[in-house]
Amino acid sequence: MEKIITHYDILQVCHQASPSVIRAAFKALSQKWHPDKHPDLNKSTQQKYQNIKQAFDLLSNPKLRQEYDQQIKNKNSSPNKNSKELLNSYTFKEKKTRISVIV
């Protein structure tokens, strides 16, 4: 069974984390991985920052977070679904941008 890395994993918080904990985790990780602080770093670190930003954008919005949690719950109860297809297809309805999830 493949391991699914969620936005909670990216921000290194638990699923029950409060908005203030999510915000603090984002602040700490974004300061660590911000491209302006490390202009000499390669593309993978820039991608890491993008993933951190996308995770925060989703988890800081209560409506999107609720939908995302439901999607994770549905994935866990339906092992026949492809996890990459399921989580990578999750989109922001407000911004209409794709959320990439590392699997």
Total domains in the fold of the chain: 1
Q: What residues make up the domain containing 51?
A: 7-88
Which one is predicted more confidently, 20 or 89?
20
- Whether 94 is covered by a domain: the verdict is no
- Whether 67 is covered by a domain: the verdict is yes
- Whether 69 is covered by a domain: the verdict is yes
Predicted local distance difference test score (pLDDT) of residue 26:
97
Contact 15, 69 (CB under 8 A): yes
- Whether 101 is covered by a domain: the verdict is no
Predicted local distance difference test score (pLDDT) of residue 79:
54
- Whether 100 is covered by a domain: the verdict is no
- Whether 75 is covered by a domain: the verdict is yes
- Whether 30 is covered by a domain: the verdict is yes
- Whether 28 is covered by a domain: the verdict is yes
Which one is predicted more confidently, 91 or 9?
9
pTM, two decimal places? 0.70
Alpha-carbon gap, residue 85 to 27, rounded angstroms: 29
Alpha-carbon gap, residue 60 to 21, rounded angstroms: 10
Q: What is the CATH number of the domain that holds 68?
A: 1.10.287.110
The two tokens of residue 96 are 């209409």
Confidence of residue 30 (pLDDT cuts 50, 70, 90): very high
Across 14-23, 40-49, 70-79, which has the greatest mean pLDDT? 14-23
